[in-house]
Amino acid sequence: MKKVEDFYKEKINKSEKEINKLSKLISYMGWGRLIILIGGLTLSYKLYKDMGFFNGVAALVVTGILFFIVALMHGRIMIKKEKLEVVVEFNEKGLKRLNGEYREFKDKGNELLEEGHPFAEDLDIFGQNSLFQMINTTRTLSGRRKLGEIISLKKLPAKNQILEKQQAIKELGDKIEWREQQYVNGTFKKKKGEELEELIKWSTEVAASDLSRIIVSCIFIAITMAMIFLAITKYIPISFLILDLMVNFAVIKILTKDRGQVIELFHSIKDSVKAYSKLLTLIEEEEFQSPYLKTLKNKLKDNSNISCKDEMKRLVQLLDWVGDSAGNAYFFILNVIAFADIFILFNLNKWRDANGEKIEKWLQVMGEFDALSSISNLSFEHKEWCYGEITEETKVKGTSVSHPLIGGRAIDNSYELVGSKQITLITGSNMSGKSTFLRTIGINIVLSYIGAPCCAKTFSCSIMNIYTCMRTKDNLEESISSFYAEILRIKLIIEASRRGEKLFFLLDEIFKGTNSKDRHTGATVLVKQLVESGAVGLLSTHDLELCNLEETMKEVDNYNFREYYENNKIKFDYKLRKGKSTTQNAVYLMKLAGIDI
């Protein structure tokens, strides 16, 4: 981790030094532009007075050229500085992840959490202090959605898919410079996020024939060229030419009245499309070794071998004209003379005819690379973590397993649920670490399934649907108590097991909302049903009597956490031990809270 930390710090320091140099240069060039403008205008006026009109105009032209060159250089340096600032942002995020400061990141993916998801809320997949908040560095809407889809396991992968994903994540993890460029080039001012849908919608629309518009435009262009010639040769007054241009303007409005929204659309999403073009170019120009990334990249091509990057660059060039059409006096003159809007629309439609069906696929590829790059942050930053072994045998086994979201404070434990064992009962006093351990096992299984490294020395598991019941709460709108909400969650698990699903469950303090007798009876019945259905998982409880099931059921195994006392203070080592709990601390905690017992 130290080498990774040094890498990020070195990149930040190097970029900040360059930013400081560029800031000074930008300041000097700003003053230079002002001096050129004032000096050039002064000199032009003096030459005009002393040496005549031609010399004054010549000086003015030279001044304009110099000013334009300096302004162009100034703009390019500004862009370079802005990119370096994004480089700093990328590497600062990496440092914060390493230091456990990812909780400061604003994007938590809250809206990606589906209500009633089998495990996402309980395992902190989205929200504050979540997996999404920690790893997300996506720059596109499609990438953000794809990342949410991957880490919430929308579709349970097969073993070969997981192994391919592991290779892909490893490769992208090592391509840190490429991922940095992906982050930089994907940085753009988003409209509201809907530009993706608008672009895809436009790409699938069927355009009416532009032939009649082109013919009409050519006729009016020919008339205008003739009018310009006649006006220059003074066969007609200039007012006739002005009237002709006014007619042209009206004709253009008529011809584009049903296409105006297309011009507005592309004017509003031009920056987004430019970013997409840069990202797709990065993907197409990069060489990948892992089969998954190769296959993903090859989706950018079809049987015609049309280059995605070339086609996207061509679209960007067309959009540059669209951008110039808004409020640009020079473009207005070009438009009324040469009917530029008509030909822009014509070329956009030609581009759509050739590539419209491919846009959505290209953006999906771009989004998946974006999402995988976020996951590969774990691969680059945690070389000490392992990649999960996927087994055919139903099992969960790990050595030195800890929670990836806790960071350096996490306590590792070794654990196994193998062979005839199906259910682990975990007992222990309050705050001893039961719930955290359940989440530790759950989130490491998720990491295994998405091809990411696990926070463990070794970790192996089979492929199972994950179900949890840990954070049940009241729902006043639907008049549901926390106990009934818990019952509904457990019902989902039972129904899944009856459907024959291969499932893994995590149940925290089962039936805590009812009396001890009902809790014990209900938990006993549930454990037996889960065993009979072939389900495997962990169940934490304060019901020590439930641990007696180990004596009559070979499928049940007991583990526990405990506390100890030092200088009359309660302490926890958060270490998992075999057997049922032999300690309790409720009375002591009540005393600490000031309750006299």
Q: What is the tens place of the pLDDT at every residue in 397-439? A: 999 999 999 988 889 999 999 989 999 999 988 788 899 999 9
Task: Give yes or no for residue 248 having a pLDDT over 90.
Answer: no
pLDDT of residue 519: 78
Indicate whether 471 belongs to any domain.
yes
CA dist 367 and 384 (Å) reads: 28
Backbone angles phi, psi at 537, to 5 degrees: 165, -170
CA dist 356 and 174 (Å) reads: 34
AA letter at 25: L
10 Å CB burial of residue 28 (0-12, 13-18, 19+) is exposed
- pLDDT digits 0-9 by tens, 20-60: 999 998 888 888 888 888 888 888 878 777 787 777 778 88
The single-letter DSSP state of residue 414 is E
Task: Read off the CATH number of the domain in which 587 is found.
Answer: 3.40.50.300
Domain that holds residue 48: 1-101
pLDDT of residue 470: 87
CA dist 24 and 12 (Å) reads: 18
Whether 444 and 366 map to the same domain: the answer is: no
Indicate whether 140 belongs to any domain.
no
Where would I find the H helices in 541-585? Answer: 549-552
Backbone angles phi, psi at 503, to 5 degrees: -130, 155
Give CA separation, 310 vs 63, 159, 301, in Å. 37, 36, 11
Compute the CA torsion angle 517, 519, 524, 529 (nearest 10 deg). 140
pLDDT of residue 319: 79
Whether 536 and 552 map to the same domain: the answer is: yes
Place of tokens 């030092």: 566
Contact indicator for 425, 539 with CB cutoff of 8 Å: yes
Indicate whether 185 belongs to any domain.
no
Whether 438 and 536 map to the same domain: the answer is: yes
Of 381, 413, 437, which residue constitutes the final position of a domain?
A: 381
The single-letter DSSP state of residue 270 is H
Contact indicator for 451, 172 with CB cutoff of 8 Å: no
Indicate whether 55 belongs to any domain.
yes
The tally of CA atoms less than 13 A away on the side-chain side of residue 28 is: 8
The maximal CA–CA distance of the chain, rounded, in angstroms, is 113
Indicate whether 111 belongs to any domain.
no
Extract the runs of DSSP E, i.e. beta strands, from 319-444: 386-387, 389-390, 396-401, 413-417, 423-428
- pLDDT digits 0-9 by tens, 108-127: 999 999 988 999 999 999 99
Of 366, 381, 396, which residue constitutes the final position of a domain?
A: 381
Helix (H) or strand (E) holding 38: helix 2-51
Place of tokens 């659309």: 265
Contact indicator for 440, 402 with CB cutoff of 8 Å: yes
Task: Give yes or no for residue 266 having a pLDDT over 80.
Answer: no
CA dist 278 and 176 (Å) reads: 17
Whether 353 and 437 map to the same domain: the answer is: no
Which comes out higher in pLDDT, residue 566 or 325?
566
- In degrees, rounded to 5, the angle at the alpha carbon of residue 555 between the alpha carbons of residues 553 and 559 is 95
Of 352, 381, 410, which residue constitutes the final position of a domain?
A: 381
Whether 317 and 332 map to the same domain: the answer is: yes
Place of tokens 């007696």: 548
Whether 233 and 334 map to the same domain: the answer is: yes
What does the pLDDT average to over 385-397? 95
Whether 41 and 96 map to the same domain: the answer is: yes
pLDDT of residue 543: 84
Tell which residue, 489, 508, 504, 490, has the closest CA to residue 433.
508
Contact indicator for 93, 129 with CB cutoff of 8 Å: no
pLDDT of residue 475: 47
Place of tokens 């199972």: 464
Q: How confident is the model at residue 356 (pLDDT cuts 50, 70, 90)?
A: confident
Whether 354 and 457 map to the same domain: the answer is: no
Q: End-to-end CA distance of the chain, in Å?
A: 49
Whether 285 and 339 map to the same domain: the answer is: yes
**Full strand arrangement of the beta sheet holding 577-578:** 465-469, 503-508, 536-540, 423-428, 556-561, 577-578
- pLDDT digits 0-9 by tens, 3-30: 899 999 999 999 999 999 999 988 888 8
Q: How confident is the model at residue 474 (pLDDT cuts 50, 70, 90)?
A: very low
CA dist 20 and 589 (Å) reads: 55
Tell which residue, 123, 134, 103, has the closest CA to residue 441.
123
